[in-house]
Amino acid sequence: MPDREALETAKSQALRYLAYRDRSEKEINQYLGKKGHAPSIIQKTLQDLAKLNYINDQRFAMEWGRSRIEGKKFGKERVRHELSAKGVASHIIETTLESLYSSHSERDLAQACASKKLASLHGLEPKKKMRRLVQYLQRRGFSADIIYETTRLTGRQRDTPFGA
């Protein structure tokens, strides 16, 4: 049986850590590990917090994904990578992405990112502008298909001879 005092300390630290924003189970596990708690204390703390619904990876994934899409306009691949790095199970990630991107068009997000980025690329030669835009969209997590479509559309709208 884990030490009651150590358990209360771990729970208190975890709750303070959760007060800033929702966290994944893996994040809390790592945090408590860095604080020097024994694995048995960490496990018991995680179980208790999950029972109270303070830890819910599905809710965390949905909130994290929504903030990354609405705030930063990230593509599916970037959000998938970030959630995976935070220890969210792959089936939760896929369900979350399906749900989020059904209400947020990835093409529209890419187009918004491209328009904003192009404003900062004025004065560059077309090939350089195109290369930088593509690299920017890749870093934002958009697929090659969406990048291709977005740069084609952007080139037509601006009447810019990309790649010529």
Under the banding of pLDDT at 50, 70 and 90, the label for residue 2 is low
> Quick check: 80 and 93 in contact, CB under 8 A?
yes
- Is the pLDDT reported for residue 91 higher than 90? yes
- Is the pLDDT reported for residue 159 higher than 90? no
Domain range summary for the chain, segments of one domain joined by +: 4-51, 57-103, 106-158
- Looking at residue 122, its pLDDT comes to 86
pLDDT tens digits for 35-61? 999 999 999 999 999 999 999 999 999
Q: Which CATH number fits domain 4-51: 1.20.120, 1.10.10, 1.20.1070, 1.10.3120?
A: 1.10.10
DSSP H or E run through 147: helix 144-158
Under the banding of pLDDT at 50, 70 and 90, the label for residue 163 is very low
Q: What is the pTM of this model?
A: 0.85
> Going by C-beta distance under 8 Å and a sequence separation of 6 or more, which residues neighbour residue 73?
109, 112, 113, 140
- Amino acid, res. 65: G
